Amino acid sequence: MHSAPAQIDGVVDIVRDYFSQPIRMLQSWVNVLADELIEARSSSALTRNRIDAIVKPYAKKTLALTSVPVYGAGFIAAIDLLADSRSHLAWWQGKNQSQLILASQSVNKELIDYSELEWYRVPMVSGKPHVAGPHVDYLCSDEYTITVAVPVPGEGSFAGVAGLDLLIDAVERDLTPQLRAMGGEVTLVNAVGRVVISTDPSWATGDSVKGSRLAELPRASCEGVALDVIFDPNNGGLSGTP
């Protein structure tokens, strides 16, 4: 077993910086949103329309973030928070930053129960920010996505989660050159050993490193984002088959 080389710390810094920006953006408005929701609820029933109007400016602000490629953003309500609907997403996404209307998607997504999905379940239970994925986000983006989520305080328990989507394509484009510049082969994996991105083209996003050569290599955690960096100091031709 190798001891972690010095370059690994540099890679960890890059990754933590990259993913802490979306987390900080969401954290910048969750408490204000929480207050607004409590106030709104005290004056009259909290409906889908009222939540959409309250959340929209925060979603738009998040979509305007330039340091990471935000594809979608918004608020996912706790079950039964609203008066006129058991569940609700106040979500804006895409090239035009248009509002996502689940009921009018070509496949009716309105009734999908999101309460068991990782990006909702984990922050609601832990009370902490969470980076989920890579996963096929079949509810919102319909693409291979990383979802960053921060719980929104509520009366008693959480009112829901504030979230944003990063498309893997875009993250790959952003991060891979930075990781490659550190030398060696760098592979970023999530908590279950799934590859997020890798500078080594023989490792595809979505592959599992469990039981492979990579699982034995020096690895460092990126605190606060539940991602690990695997560093392969061998360059190019010596790395062999995964």
Partner 1 sequence: MSPPRVDETDVRAASADSAPSMRPTRLHGALFQPIGDEGRAELVERRLIDAITRGHLRAGERLPSESDLARSLGVAPVTVREALLTMRERGLIVTKRGRNGGSFVTDNADPMMFAREALRSSSRLALRDLGVHYAAITGACVRLAARRADSSEVALIRRRLERLDELDADQQRRLLDDVQVELVALSQSARLTREQMKLQAEFSPFLALAAQAGIDAAAQGESLLRLSAAIDAGDPLAASAETEELIDATINALIRLQSDPH
**Does the protein bind partner 1 through residue 215 (CB under 8 A)?**
no
Residue 93 near residue 141, CB atoms below 8 Å: yes
DSSP 165-197: EEEHHHHHHHHHHHHHTTSSEEEEEETTSBEEE
Per CB under 8 A, contacts with partner 1 among 194-213 are 194, 205-208, 210
Spell out where the chain has E strands: 70-77, 89-93, 98-99, 130-136, 144-153, 158-167, 185-190, 195-198, 219-222, 227-232
**Does the protein bind partner 1 through residue 192 (CB under 8 A)?**
yes
Q: Least CB distance from residue 106 to partner 1, whole Å?
A: 4
Question: Any idea which residue has 């760098």 for tokens?
Answer: 186
**Does the protein bind partner 1 through residue 142 (CB under 8 A)?**
yes
Contact mark string toward partner 1, 83..122, x via CB under 8 A: ----------------x-x-xx-xxx--xxx--x------
**Near partner 1 by CB under 8 A, which window of 24-32, 189-197, 223-231, 233-241?**
189-197
Residue 230 near residue 218, CB atoms below 8 Å: yes
Residues forming beta bridges with residue 151, ordered by sequence position: 161
Residue of the chain from 144, 154, 183, 219 that contacts partner 1 (CB under 8 A): 144
Catalog residues that contact partner 1 under the rule CB under 8 A: 48-49, 99, 101, 103-104, 106-108, 111-113, 116, 134-136, 138, 142-144, 192-194, 205-208, 210
